Structure 1
Amino acid sequence: MIRKLRIKLIIASMVSLLAVLLVIMSAVNIVYYSQVIRDADSTLSLLAANNGFFPKSNHNAPPDEPFPKKEPPLSPELPYETRYFFVKLSQDGSVRSVNTGKIAAVDTSDAISYAQTVWAQGKTQGFADQYRFLVDTSSSEPLILFLDCSRGLDNFKTLLFSCIGVSLVGSLLVLLLLIFLSGRIVRPFLENYEKQKQFITDAGHELKTPLTILNADAEILAMDYGENEWVSDIQAQTKRLADLTNDLILLSRMEEEQTQLQMLELPLSDIAEETIAPFQAVARTQDKTLELHIQPMLSMCGDEKSLRKLFSILLDNAVKYSAPQSTISCTLERQKNLIRLSVWNAVERITKAQTEHLFDRFYRTDQSRNSQTGGYGLGLSIALAIVTAHKGKITASTTDETSLLITVTFPA
């Protein structure tokens, strides 16, 4: 149980870390990509406003022609750093002129091909390969400008892959730290849990001797003085204490990870019929009907003693806590690669919230699981331990709050 909690802690921490990293990486890369697009669009707008050329900067303008105030601040290096080309078209889309003087990677034919593709698409802005384009139709001759964004896009890809790489390496390091630190964190709880199980086992063994003596003394008193109310009560309570002690010891042993069950190939259908058959008579004495649907020739690898105990617990629970004059259904069948055991019985009332706690130790519902029925609230806990030891799964569910379905699945 402690190991499962440790695994859940590591998984929850890693999922949280990955979610935070995903948000951070997405935000950083989206902001960077948006900045690349904004810079490109700003440059294209500037070129479109000047008919495909950069305006003259302040230091190149004569004294009587100052830099226009309406233009945005222009870096003196921008015209020399920018690689672009543009194509002028007529209204019908035919090429009027091409300018590729500011780029070496594109010739006239390539420029015309890009322009015709963009014009056919009908878009005014976007990407054509690594070139950001802008279609300016403010004049009589449409102007299509293409700006080389390969450097910005390459930087974006580098940033993206760097973020992914750093995140993966960081996540791996955090995972290793979590594995190391979580072991130290849960160690005190694990030690306390092991001490608790050891105490239950030791105390159970210590209680067996006085309980045996008490039972023997009660039998001697009954022989000497005859049966009476007090002797019978002593014998009944001694038996209850012995059964409770045995259940606690069994549960503690089943939950020990080092417990070695004798796993053999077993005729599960035959074991189920032999174990469940006596409960039909018990159900009949209580005006209840037990219906069995056991698929023949089923087999699985398991521990026979534990599986018999599992069948007994589930059927005893169903008969003991089912509603009066009701029907109990037990089904054992193969479904694909699973063996499914289901026990259904009607109850007076059980909520979905209560079904989530049925496998807790000493848990009882308010109405159907009380001490008058003779139970201790350990049966389903032992069933859970047996199923877990066989790599299976057990669940409890209710659809109408007046019936209970216990389902067990084993790998076939």
Structure 2
Amino acid sequence: MFKKLRNRFLIVNLVTISIIMLAAFTTIYVITYRDVQQEIRMDLHRSMEKYQNSFGGETGHPNSTKKNSELPRTDKKPMDSGEFPQVRSISFMLWIDQEANLIGKDSMFTMEDEFYNSALNKALSFNKDTGKFTLDGSKWIFNVQHTKDGAMLVFLDITSQQNILTNLIYTFTIVGSVMLIILYFVSQYFAGRSIIPVKEAFDKQKQFIADASHELKTPLTIINTNADVLLSSGDIDHSQSKWLHYIKSEAERMTRLTNDLLYLTEMDDSRTSMIFSEFNLSEAVETIILTMEAVIFEKNVTLHYDIEPHLTVKGNSEQIKQVVMILLDNAVKYTNPKGSVTLSLKKQRSDVVLSVTNTGEGIAAEHLPRIFDRFYRTDASRARKQGGYGLGLAIAKSIIKQHKGNIYAKSVVGESTTFYVHLS
């Protein structure tokens, strides 16, 4: 139980921190992405202005006699002088006519004509005035400026900006992974320390229940014995014997309660030392049915059972018998008069499945998750009339959990309730 509690603390802690880290990394990435895109747009705009100024403004165009050659500038000043906008990224410009033929180019570096033609073809394939593509291992963005005689295409190398975003993702992944590994061990340490007070409180509560149960057994035995002696003496009249029967009945109920509490405590303490062995579950269930026949007959309840023979499981036969007894006893108690109880024991894949169904009022959906809690009763007044304290199903669940099995219930209000036990 405490291991599960520690793991829950650990999972909650890691999930919470992971969400916070993811939100922080996403925020940083989005801000960086917007800054990088803004920088790219500004560099592209500067490049457009530079090449427009180089050819005398937006309407300027190269001389058709200088097709596919380097275009002359309108002045002799270098392109990086203060007169033109400064561009920090590598760029080049291509001029095309109205038939999309390359008629000129201007570049900050010298490249082969094949490179320019490839860039032009990729840009034209977009059929848009802007776009991004990869060429020769570099990432480029282009923008088209249309003129009356053709168009000017400006290309800008954005490899470094894209690498910033890629490296940022890699950095976040590495840093996040390392932080989660460190946080896992740190959280595991503090989760273990955080449940120490809970474990101590649980151990004290368990010890108190065990001590109280032991201390109550002796006075209850004395009360029950004295009541028997007085009832058998014959010196009391009928009205007095009635009160003695009440005392004896309540003493017996208290004895059953203390025995159940003591049993739960002892079972919690012996989970690691329990010895299991292979036994015939079909025979064990039949034995319990035989012992319950008188009770079933008194209650005027019809019992139907279908037991597949020679089904074996590994566990403690006496404890499993107790589970069957608890489920069958509850089914008989809460079955309506002239109702029916159906017991089934079948092999399903690798599990042996026991089901006990009874007709009656059923259990509301909001109660089903809690019916296996200690002292939980859906109808306290009715449970008291039946002589129950709400410990039977808790004992059954503890036994099945100890056997690595599963126990649960399904119910249709006003019709029936079915308890299922899966054992392997």
The residue identity in structure 1 corresponding to 2:242 is E
Counterpart residue identity of residue 108, structure 2: K
Pick from 196, 209, 220 the counterpart of residue 218 of structure 2.
209
CA contact (8 A) 1:349 1:368 kept: no
TM-score (norm 2): 0.81
Range with greater deviation from structure 2 (146-155 or 44-53):
44-53
CA deviation profile, 1:253-308 (whole Å, cap 9, x unmatched): 22337542222223223323322444455334323333323344433222212211
**Match 1:376 to one of 389, 394, 404:** 389
SS at match of 1:282: helix
Q: 1:255 corresponds to which residue?
A: 268
Q: Is the 8 A contact 1:350 1:402 kept in 2?
A: no
In the alignment, which residue of structure 2 is the partner of 1:345?
Answer: 358
Tell me, in whole angstroms, the C-alpha distance in 1 between the residues paired with 2:151 and 2:411: 71
Q: Structure 1 runs of 4+ off > 6 angstroms?
A: 52-59
CA displacement 1:74-112 (0-9 Å, x = unmatched):
5x4xx3x3123444444444444455x4357x7432442
Q: Based on CA coordinates, which of the two structures has the bigger radius of gyration?
A: 2
Aligned in 2, Cα 1:261/1:28: closer, same or farther, shift over 3 Å? same
Q: Write the deviation string for residues 201-233 of structure 1: whole angstroms up to 9, x where unpaired.
A: 122222223333333333333333289434433
Q: Determine the C-alpha separation between the residues in 1 that align with 2:354 and 2:48.
A: 76
Give the aligned residue type for 2:209: I
CA contact (8 A) 1:98 1:108 kept: no
Residue 357 of structure 1 aligns with an amino acid whose one-letter code is R
Q: Amino acid of the residue matched to residue 122 of structure 2? A: T
Q: List aligned pairs for 1:126-205, cutoff 5 A.
A: 126-129=131-134, 130-136=138-144, 138-139=146-147, 140-205=149-214
2:18 maps to: 18
Give the structure 2 partner of residue 220 of structure 1: 229
Looking at structure 2, the residues matched to 277 and 119 of structure 1 have their Cα atoms a distance apart, in angstroms, of: 90
Structure 2 residue 246 is matched with structure 1 residue 237: no
Q: Which blocks of at least 5 consecutive residues in structure 1 are unaligned?
A: 62-66, 68-73
> Following TM superposition, by how much is the alpha carbon of 1:18 offset from its aligned partner in structure 2, in angstroms?
0.8
What pairs up with 1:35-114 in 2 under 5 angstroms? 35-51=35-51, 60-61=82-83, 74=85, 76=86, 79=87, 81-99=88-106, 101-102=107-108, 107-114=112-119
Residue range with higher mean Cα deviation, 314-323 or 253-262 = 253-262
Q: How many residues align?
A: 394
**Structure 2 residue ranges without an equivalent (≥5):** 58-77
Is residue 398–residue 404 contact of structure 1 (8 Å, CA) maintained in 2? yes
Q: Rate the CA distance shift 1:132–1:195 in 2: closer, same or farther, 3 A.
A: same
Percentage of matched positions with identical amino acids? 29
2:308 and 2:346 in contact (8 A); partners too: yes
How far apart are 1:358 and its partner, in Å?
A: 0.9
Check the 8 A contact 1:85/1:111 in 2, yes or no: no
- Compute the displacement of 1:116 (Å): 1.9
**Would the aligned equivalents of 2:231 and 2:244 in 1 still touch at CA under 8 Å?**
yes
- Deviating more after overlay: 379-388 vs 251-260: 251-260
CA 59–86 in structure 1, closer or farther in 2 if over 3 Å, else same? closer
Matched, 1:300 2:313: yes
**RMSD (CA atoms):** 3.1
Picking from 325, 341, 354, the partner of 1:328 is 341
CA distance in 1, matches of 2:8, 2:226: 51
Question: Structure 1 residues 287, 29: closer, same or farther in 2, change over 3 A?
Answer: same
- Aligned partner letter, 1:134: F
* Counterpart residue identity of residue 60, structure 1: G
- CA change 1:53–1:25 in 2 (3 A) is farther
Amino acid at match of 1:24: A
Write the distance in 1 (CA, Å) between the matches of 2:112 and 2:275.
80
CA distance in 2 between partners of 1:158 and 1:408 (Å): 55
Check the 8 A contact 2:123/2:142 in 1, yes or no: no
Cα displacement string for residues 347-402 of structure 1 (whole angstroms, at most 9, x for unaligned residues): 32532112222112111113784200111111111112112212223333435465
Residue 120 (structure 1) aligned to one of 125, 130, 136: 125
SS, match of residue 343 in structure 1: strand
**1:361-372 matches, cutoff 5 A:** 361-366=374-379, 369-372=382-385
TM-score after normalising by structure 1 = 0.83
Q: Deviations over 1:33-61 (max 9, x none)?
A: 23222222332233335547889999733
